[in-house]
Structure 1
Amino acid sequence: MSTFDAISEPLAQRLADGLSRLGAVARQIDWQAAEAEGLTPTQADILRFVASRPAGVRLAAAAGHAGVRSATASDAVTALQRKALVRKQSDASDGRAILLKATRDGQALAARWPASYAPVVAGLDADDQEAMLHLVMEMIRHLHRRNLIAPQRSCVTCKYFRENVAPGSGEPHRCAFVDAPMADRHLRVDCPEHVAAA
């Protein structure tokens, strides 16, 4: 054991502290961007979530994604409707259900929204970004298994994802949906073709 092993906080705690600081920077960037558009952070988060799902989403899914209660999400959606950024429509598959869809203005705003973590990852070279993406996907997978994160449309939770079917190759994974090999750099956090694994 080295001197620093004895006097340092545990590695997991230092990593958690570092991630908390990065998260605070990203939240600040999000809040500033939301304020500039006349939105609250919750409204902005829900708008981006809805805009990324052109087929529409239910309120419960938007609330889960934003990590807020349904009542809070409902208030945010009402404000987004007043601003003509989101609209409600009946779900064709269930006439009693309502879907949220982004309007043209909502889609445009979501498309130009800055990626809050962009400054955080900008200083990393491509290899480090790929390694970081791999770790992020692993964290999402573990949080998903423990029901600590809203359902994600990520490769690692998809029925089409075949992990490490060609170990040692440059593209060890396979996507059965497009029938093509994948490297870690190809993994998607939010895939529109995602189908949850059983």
Structure 2
Amino acid sequence: MTIYDPLYRRESRAARVGMTLLRMSQAVKALTASEVAGTGLTPVQAQALLFVRYTKPFLASVGRLAEALGVTHVTAIGVLDGLVRHGLVEKTTSPLDRRVTLLRLTPAGEEVCQRLGRFGHTLEEALAQLDEAELEALERGLGAVVWGLREAGVLQVAEPCRGCVHFQENAAPGSPEPHHCRLIQRYLSEADAKLACPDFTPSRPAV
């Protein structure tokens, strides 16, 4: 059965919720398109730019961007080529692995990111109409769905270090890089710890 079948949706709450999420995704596409109007960017280019801005510099690679956008490597390169032509992003070779291309913002890219500071605010305002208890229930429910999709390999979740199973806070007290990531075996500064990591794994999965 398909969630597009209205008779089936009457029988299945999961199908009704699934159709609601699908409709919301269509609305989000329209909202994000309107929010980037005037920047000269497409919504996916805006996402790519914000990925570079908020991801740890040593993890902001072309491959990671492709995962974050849910697209192929070739498609991600196409998105980036537009940003490079606009002078918003630069590509560099990783000093640890010459096969890896890292991404960084130019001053012009930083400026555009400032203009994208309210990207996604329309959706946030719509959700703010719910009371705190409703938001908490929605967050827990959607968190469980997101976790399931992540486990299925169809979704990437990038978050700052705190709350990640691999993160050791203050592993080297007094050091400029006091925190440690067990996954990549690297010490992190406080600034690094506050940036998103594509390998974020919550200590306790959402239930």
| TM-score w.r.t. length of structure 1 | 0.71
Which one of the candidate residues 71, 74, 78 is aligned to 2:77?
74
RMSD: 3.2
AA aligned to 2:68 is: H
Unpaired runs of at least 5, structure 1: 1-5, 162-175, 179-190
2-structure distance, mates of 1:26, 1:145: 24
Deviations along 1:149-175, one digit per CA (max 9) or x if unpaired, are: 1353378983158xxxxxxxxxxxxxx
Unpaired segments of 5 or more residues in structure 2?
Answer: 1-7, 171-193
Identical columns (%): 24
Which runs of structure 2 are paired with 1:41-52 in the superposition (5 Å)? 41-52=43-54
Is structure 2 residue 129 aligned with structure 1 residue 127? no
Match of 1:29 in 2: 31
Residues paired across the two proteins, number? 169
Is contact 1:86-1:101 (8 Å) kept?
Answer: yes
Q: Residue type matched to 2:53 in 1?
A: A
Query: Is the CA contact (8 Å cut-off) linking 2:9 and 2:15 kept in structure 1?
Result: no
State which of 30, 41, 49 in structure 2 corresponds to 1:39: 41
State how far apart, in whole Å, the 1-side matches of 2:124 and 2:22 are: 16
TM-score (norm 2): 0.68
Higher relative contact order (CA 8 A, sep 6+): 2
CA distance in 2: counterparts of 1:63 and 1:157, whole angstroms = 24
Alpha-carbon shift at residue 88 of structure 1 (Å):
1.0
Distance change (3 Å), C-alpha of 1:122 and 1:97: same
Per the alignment, residue 177 of structure 1 pairs with 169
